[in-house]
Amino acid sequence: MASPNLSSAFLLSLLLCNLLVSPSFSELCNPADKKVLLAIKKALNDPYMLASWTADTDCCDWYNVACDDTNHRIIQLTIFDGPLSGQIPAAVGDLPYLQMIDLNRLSHVTGPIPTSLGKLKNLTFLRLSYLNLTGPIPTSLGKLSKLTFLNLSHNDLTGSIPSSLTSLNNLDAVLLNDNQLCGKIPIGGKLQSSDASSYSNNKRLCGAPLPSC
Ligand SMILES: *[C@@H]1O[C@H](CO)[C@@H](O)[C@H](O)[C@H]1NC(C)=O
Ligand SMILES: *[C@@H]1O[C@H](CO)[C@@H](O)[C@H](O)[C@H]1NC(C)=O
Ligand SMILES: *[C@@H]1O[C@H](CO)[C@@H](O)[C@H](O)[C@H]1NC(C)=O
């Protein structure tokens, strides 16, 4: 007669345990993604624009992000036009299923492009435009082999264009205009497929499709 008692004790403890740890709502959101998004929100000083990002709601219902229909991982991060300030948190690189990052017209977003974006192997679309980004284009972006669209225009990026970008063979568009870039545009990949306007209004860029150095 010991085993029924044991199993009911076990069931009781399981029940208590569940009552203690299970969230009071059901959600599709992946817990790892949620943790990263809440860290991103905190790093951006809890901006009003991200008010829907709260721990007690499903991150697949939040504004400014989108989840995959089948695995419910975060695949899009899009923030436009607003009073967001601070730097792009390195934690963005910890959303491994991201396919699209679109941060656009956020003139109080400053600092460098995080090297960690190079970890996002499924990224196809990267737009960081009309922000106030400074520092170099990270070499690590050359690892984003699925990238089809890269728009880093209208920032204050400095340094030369990393030659690693020539390995992005799926690029349909590359926009680096209106920055402070300098040096020779690396030859190869899709970097010569765009017209000169994609590189215009920089500091001292030269080489095809701009005039030779
Ligand atoms: C990336 O995309 C592939 C193909 O769609 C998919 O199988 C994989 O789960 C995605 N995510 C990661 C983190 O690799
Ligand atoms: C962002 O850059 C613009 C143009 O370069 C400048 O006028 C503005 O003051 C900058 N804003 C911030 C918050 O740094
Ligand atoms: C790059 O982004 C800027 C800002 O959103 C936009 O004005 C421009 O049209 C974009 N370029 C392309 C080719 O999509």
Binning pLDDT at 50, 70 and 90, where does residue 199 land? very high
User: Is the per-residue pLDDT at 5 higher than 90?
Assistant: no
Provide the pLDDT confidence category of residue 8 given band limits of 50, 70 and 90: low
Domains of the chain with CATH codes: 29-206 (3.80.10.10)
Instruction: Compute the Cα dihedral for 27, 33, 39, 42 and give only its sign.
Output: negative
In percent, the amount of the chain with pLDDT more than 70 equals 88
Q: Ligand 2 mean position to 132 CA, how many Å?
A: 6
130 lines ligand 1 (CB under 6 A): no
Q: Is 96's pLDDT higher than 50? A: yes
User: Does residue 17 register a pLDDT over 50?
Assistant: no
Atom 13 (ligand 2): residue with closest C-alpha?
A: 108
What's the pLDDT score for residue 1?
41
Residues ≥6 apart with Cβ < 8 Å to 127: 101, 102, 103, 104, 149, 150, 151, 152
Distance in angstroms (rounded) separating the CA atoms of residues 114 and 136: 10
| Pocket (CB within 6 angstroms of ligand 2) | 107-108, 110, 132
Name the token pair of 180: 């402070």
Cis peptide before 136 (omega within 30 of 0): no
pLDDT-derived band at 26 (thresholds 50, 70, 90) equals confident
User: Long-range pairs for 179-184 at CB < 8 Å and ≥24 separation?
Assistant: 179/152, 179/153, 179/154, 179/155, 179/203, 180/156, 181/137, 181/157, 181/205, 182/158, 183/159, 184/160, 184/213
The 10s digit of each residue's pLDDT in 69-79 is 999 999 999 99
Contact 109, 134 (CB under 8 A): no
pLDDT at 83: 86
* Residue 101: how many other CB atoms lie within 10 Å: 20
- How far apart CA 106 and CA 52 sit, in angstroms, is 19
> Is 18's pLDDT higher than 70?
no
Query: How many Å apart are CA 208 and CA 145, to the nearest integer?
Result: 23
Type of residue numbered 87: Q
pTM of the model: 0.88
pLDDT at 172 over 50: yes
Q: How far apart are CA 53 and CA 73, in angstroms?
A: 15
Is any ligand 1 atom within 6 A of the Cβ of residue 96? yes
**Can you tell me which residue has the tokens 């109080």?**
108
Cβ burial of 19 (10 Å; 0-12, 13-18, 19+) is: exposed
Q: Which atom of ligand 3 is nearest to the CA of 149?
A: 14
